[in-house]
Structure 1
Amino acid sequence: MLALIAGEGALPAAVAAAQTRAPLICALRGHVPEGLTPDITFRLETLGGLMEMLRAQGVTEVCLCGAIGRPAIDLGAIDDLTWPMVPRMREALQRGDDGALRVALELFEGEGFGIVAAHEAAPSLLPPAGVLTEAQPRPDTAAEADLGAQVVAEMGAADQGQACVIRGARVVAREQADGTDAMLARLAPPRGGAPAQGAGDPFSWAADMMGDMLGGAADWLSGQEAEAEARAGILYKAPKPDQDRRADLPTIGPRTVPAVAAAGLAGIVVSAGGVIVLDRAATVAACDRAGLFLWVRG
Structure 2
Amino acid sequence: MLALIAGTGALPTEVVAQLTERPLICAMEGFLPDDLTADIVFPLEQLGSFIADLKARGVTQICLAGAVQRPAIDPSRIDAATLPLVPVIQKAIMSGDDGALRAVIGILEDAGLQMRAAHEIAPGLLPPLGCLTDAQPSEADMADAVRASGILRAMGAADTGQACAVLNGQALAIEGIFGTAWMLKSLTQRPDAGGGILFKGPKPGQDRRADLPAIGPDTVTDAVAAGLSGIVLEKGGVLVLRQEQVIAECNRLGLFLYIRERAA
* TM class by smaller structure: over 0.9
Equivalent-residue separation in structure 1 for 2:247 and 2:34 (angstroms): 21
C-alpha deviations, 1:164-185, integer Å up to 9, x for none?
A: 0101121011100111111111
Aligned residue identity for 2:250? C
Residue of structure 1 equivalent to 2:246: 283
Residue of structure 1 equivalent to 2:42: 42
Aligned residue identity for 1:2? L
Aligned residue identity for 2:204? P
Q: How many residues align?
A: 261
- Any conservation in 2 of the 1:172–1:197 contact (CA below 8 Å)? no
More deviation, 97-106/27-36 = 27-36
Is 1:131 equivalent to 2:94 in the alignment? no
1:221-260 superposed matches below 5 A: 231-260=194-223
C-alpha deviations, 1:175-232, integer Å up to 9, x for none?
A: 001111111111113xxxxxx148xxxxxxxxxxxxxxxxxxxxxxxxxxxxxxx641
More deviation, 125-134/230-239 = 230-239
Residue of structure 2 equivalent to 1:89: 89
Residue of structure 1 equivalent to 2:179: 179
Equivalent-residue separation in structure 2 for 1:295 and 1:197 (angstroms): 26
Equivalent-residue separation in structure 2 for 1:9 and 1:46 (angstroms): 24
C-alpha deviations, 1:105-129, integer Å up to 9, x for none?
A: 0000011100000000101111110
Residue of structure 2 equivalent to 1:262: 225
Say which SS state the counterpart of residue 186 (structure 2) adopts: helix
Residue of structure 1 equivalent to 2:148: 148
- Structure 2: gaps of 5 or more residues: none
Say which SS state the counterpart of residue 187 (structure 1) adopts: coil
Q: CA deviation at 1:241?
A: 0.6
Residue of structure 1 equivalent to 2:259: 296
Residue of structure 2 equivalent to 1:226: none
Say which SS state the counterpart of residue 139 (structure 2) adopts: coil
Equivalent-residue separation in structure 2 for 1:97 and 1:57 (angstroms): 30
Equivalent-residue separation in structure 2 for 1:286 and 1:79 (angstroms): 49
Residue of structure 2 equivalent to 1:53: 53
- Structure 1: gaps of 5 or more residues: 190-195, 199-229
Aligned identity (percent) is 52
Say which SS state the counterpart of residue 255 (structure 1) adopts: helix
Equivalent-residue separation in structure 1 for 2:191 and 2:99 (angstroms): 34
Aligned residue identity for 1:266? S
Equivalent-residue separation in structure 2 for 1:34 and 1:287 (angstroms): 25
**TM-score (normalised: structure 2):** 0.96
Residue of structure 2 equivalent to 1:206: none
1:139-218 superposed matches below 5 A: 139-189=139-189, 196-197=190-191
* Aligned CA distance change for structure 1 residues 166 and 197 (closer, same or farther; 3 Å): farther
Say which SS state the counterpart of residue 269 (structure 1) adopts: strand
Residue of structure 1 equivalent to 2:74: 74
Is 1:120 equivalent to 2:83 in the alignment? no
Equivalent-residue separation in structure 2 for 1:297 and 1:106 (angstroms): 31
Equivalent-residue separation in structure 2 for 1:197 and 1:41 (angstroms): 47
Equivalent-residue separation in structure 2 for 1:117 and 1:51 (angstroms): 18
Residue of structure 2 equivalent to 1:211: none
Say which SS state the counterpart of residue 217 (structure 2) adopts: coil
Structure 1 runs (4+) greater than 3 angstroms displaced: none
Equivalent-residue separation in structure 2 for 1:168 and 1:151 (angstroms): 13
